[in-house]
Amino acid sequence: MIINRLMICCLVVFVFSLKVTAQYFPSNEWEIHSNDEEIGWSFSKLKIAESYNKTIKTSAVLIIYKVKILSSWENIDKKYMCHSIRKSFLSALYGIYVDNGKIDISKSLRELKIDDIQPLSNTEKTATIQHLLKARSGIYHPAAYEIAGSDLYKPKRGKFKPGENWHYNNWDFNTLSTIFERETNKKIFEAFEKDIAIPIKMQDFDREQDTYYHYEKDRSQHPAYPFEMTASDMARFGLLILNKGNWNGQQIISKNWIKESTASYSESGYGYMWWIQDKPYKMIIAKGVGGHSIDIIPDKDLVIVIRTNTYKREGISQEQKKRLLELIINSKI
């Protein structure tokens, strides 16, 4: 009798815990904090941050605190190009398929039969998937979707062996898309939709309209994979990472992969296609040209998404972004 009562009590606690967990994740629509002051934020200081934001060229800012909207400015439901944030999307996908055994990041390019228009050298073929994830392949070939003049800043071919040098390199990031599709027999965008967008209930993402392969076949065989996305949907992705790959009780990406992929492997502060900042607080950052970013601050339960209208060649500087983040974060009482 006592055992039965104990089992019933445990069941009640378990069911209650599920309900508590469920209410902390957005469903089809985001929930909004009803009172900033009650949850420890200064409304007046947030207004100062918002006023500063009006002086710079952002197009949307969305602040998520403990999984609800703390504040949003401008149009968070308008789609803009994600630019290099695409790389962090792919990093998350890699985690899912490393965890299920479809991808082994210790495999070399030779084992994977990866080559390019300019054939890889024997040394270059020793680079592994992990080297590419870290931007440490030592392969400095032309690549698609690079900023004009990028080739001028690449090290001389053969100067570094795989693993010896960090260089932010679209060849690594694009080739990872080819490897992903060969190893999993899945297209990147279809996998992203099925494995990430649908489980976290992205509201606006439309795979057919918002994605495409960008080829520059005179430069490389390996395409870039641009995304368009709203700030609202990007915040869901940031929240998934903030919660160590868990969404409403479902472990979409393993905690181990989140930890491994968001560790820094270079002086530049680079993980597996994530930027990592340790001071003045730990930040996990996905960022793209023009000031686009998903800033994840685990110790403060914050996800901050910043968008700019790069279609109009608008953007913000690093100093402007830094100032905006400072004003937001310092609004916590």
According to the model, what pLDDT value does residue 19 have? 37
Overall number of domains in the chain: 1
In terms of Cα–Cα distance, which of 313, 305, 301 is closest to 287? 305
Domain assignment present for residue 12? The answer is no
Domain assignment present for residue 281? The answer is yes
In Å, what is the CA distance from 11 to each residue of 7, 131, 227, 251?
A: 6, 47, 43, 21
Domain assignment present for residue 38? The answer is no
Q: What is the DSSP string of 104-120?
A: -TT-BHHHHT---SSPP
Is 238 in contact with 305 (CB distance < 8 Å)? yes
pTM for the full model?
0.92
Domain assignment present for residue 14? The answer is no
Which CATH number fits the domain that encloses residue 309?
Answer: 3.40.710.10
Interatomic CA distance for residues 329 and 222, integer angstroms: 40
Structure tokens at 272: 């597996």
Angle at CA of residue 214, ends 208 and 218, nearest 5°: 155
Which helix (H) or strand (E) element contains residue 286?
Answer: strand 283-288
Tens of pLDDT along the chain (333 residues) come to 444 444 444 443 433 343 333 446 888 889 999 877 778 999 999 999 999 999 999 999 999 999 999 999 999 999 999 999 999 999 999 999 999 999 999 999 999 999 999 999 999 999 999 999 999 999 999 999 998 889 899 999 999 999 999 999 999 999 999 999 999 999 999 999 999 999 999 999 999 999 999 999 999 999 999 999 999 999 999 999 999 999 999 999 999 999 999 999 999 999 999 999 998 889 999 999 999 999 999 999 999 999 999 999 999 999 999 999 999 999 998
**Owning domain of residue 243:** 51-329
Domain assignment present for residue 3? The answer is no
